[in-house]
Amino acid sequence: MTTKKRNSPLSGKVQTVLGPIEPSELGVTMTHEHLLVHGLCYMRNPEEATLRAYEHAPVTADKLGDQSKLFWNSRDNFTLYDEKFAVAEALKYKHAGGQSLVDTTSRRGTGRDPLGLARISRATGLNIVMGGSYYVLLSYPPGFDKKPEDEIYHEIVTDITEGADGGVRSGIIGEVGNFYPLTANERKVLRASARAAAATGAPITIHPAPHDDSHYEIINILAKSGADPKRVVMGHLDFTLCSHRPALKRLAEMGCFLEFDTFGWENTTLSVAYPGLTMVSDVQRIEAIEFLIAGGHLDQILVAQDICQKWMTTRYGGKGYAHILTNIVPRLRKRGWTQQQLDAVLIHNPARALTFA
């Protein structure tokens, strides 16, 4: 097992799909989105005929009210394949003031498209940072049990240093997906990701399980394998720890970035189909963030919308990539947030989180 010592030419830079840039060039940044992606690993293929009817049917307006059924059972809903569609949706974010975003689609099993992301970046003028490593175990390629940790490590490092398709390079490791309790394969991916971070200076972004202990265990595994917890983005806190203040505080004290990345997902029916998942509202997200800021953790907060299904996009009646800028920021101002606090969350924290060590 080898982990090369870091001596990265990327140190102090952010790596986008069009090449390295200065962190100060990022501006307003959403740190967890998907422009081209599929979530087909989550397809439920239910027994019930009326649910199976969703499998091959297109997403249409009459189905948008049935989000708990659409969410798990519709192939069309699980796919964002159309590049022109992605450009149109991303431009709404740009027109609202967005300058950069992270596409956290992992390297295999969820449709990552390096050249597609590069084209979208050129077409929109947005800086796009591409993900790497592996998502949840449902998306692993066949034979993953036998895949050596070293091979995964080298894949992640190569994505960052030499690039994936067409030489397009990853600028962040993840989203690394996890369920709870962690399996041997998930631990293997976490160790390989941490070693790749130590070798390249790249940040890591994590998709934890909705279980308190998941977060701490993941941070500990990453730290033991050489990653700096302060350079880890812990994602999805909105539906894992949002309503559990002591657990949130404990995680914040571990020093990682704290990402509330499903702003706009306010449909509580999603919890019906996934027991244990608590889908909160944007107000609850804001209150959790304000709790963390009161505890001195402003500099760790990141936000995003994790757009990954059709119903979340504006074309299908969703709130889209501009939701935080158009709907949440004005609410934060009304709640008394200062410009300095807004800039920290939208500009300065993402810049620090995405800068290579």
**Least distance from C-beta 339 to Zn ion, angstroms?**
29
Q: Is 201 left (phi over 0), alpha (psi -120 to 50) or beta?
A: left
**Least distance from C-beta 193 to Zn ion, angstroms?**
15
Site for Zn ion in 186-225 (CB under 5 A): none
Site for Zn ion in 297-326 (CB under 5 A): 306
Cβ nearer to Zn ion, comparing 113 with 306: 306
Cβ nearer to Zn ion, comparing 311 with 337: 311
Q: Identify whether the C-beta of residue 204 lies closer than 8 Å to the C-beta of residue 219.
A: no
Cis peptide before 181 (omega within 30 of 0): yes
| 133-172 footprint of Zn ion as x/- string (CB under 5 A) | ----------------------------------------
Q: What residue is closest to Zn ion based on CB?
A: 306
Tally Cβ neighbours within 10 Å of residue 93. 27
| 75-114 footprint of Zn ion as x/- string (CB under 5 A) | -----------------------------x----------
Alpha-carbon distance 101 to 300, whole Å? 17
Largest CA-CA distance found in the chain, in angstroms, rounded: 57
Q: Does 259 bind Zn ion (CB under 5 A)?
A: no
| Count of residues engaged in binding Zn ion, rule: CB under 5 A | 2
**Least distance from C-beta 264 to Zn ion, angstroms?**
13
Distance from the first to the final alpha carbon of the chain: 22
Cβ nearer to Zn ion, comparing 227 with 312: 312
**Integer angstrom CA distances of residue 5 from 48, 221, 230, 353:** 54, 19, 19, 21
Spatial neighbors of 4 by CB under 8 A, at least 6 apart, are 157, 199
Task: Pick the closest to residue 13 from 28, 25, 29, 1 (CA basis).
Answer: 25
**Least distance from C-beta 116 to Zn ion, angstroms?**
17
**Least distance from C-beta 32 to Zn ion, angstroms?**
6
Alpha helices in the chain (DSSP H): 49-52, 67-73, 83-95, 114-124, 149-161, 184-200, 212-224, 245-252, 282-294, 323, 329-334, 339-343, 349-354
Cβ nearer to Zn ion, comparing 31 with 225: 31
Cβ nearer to Zn ion, comparing 73 with 104: 104
**Least distance from C-beta 313 to Zn ion, angstroms?**
14
**Least distance from C-beta 207 to Zn ion, angstroms?**
6
Cβ nearer to Zn ion, comparing 33 with 155: 33
**Least distance from C-beta 104 to Zn ion, angstroms?**
5
Q: Identify whether the C-beta of residue 299 lies closer than 8 Å to the C-beta of residue 344.
A: yes
Cβ nearer to Zn ion, comparing 3 with 205: 205
- Residue that is written with structure tokens 């990265």 in the block: 8
Cβ nearer to Zn ion, comparing 33 with 212: 33
Q: Identify whether the C-beta of residue 163 lies closer than 8 Å to the C-beta of residue 169.
A: yes
Site for Zn ion in 16-45 (CB under 5 A): none
Query: Which residues lie near Zn ion (CB under 5 A)?
Result: 104, 306
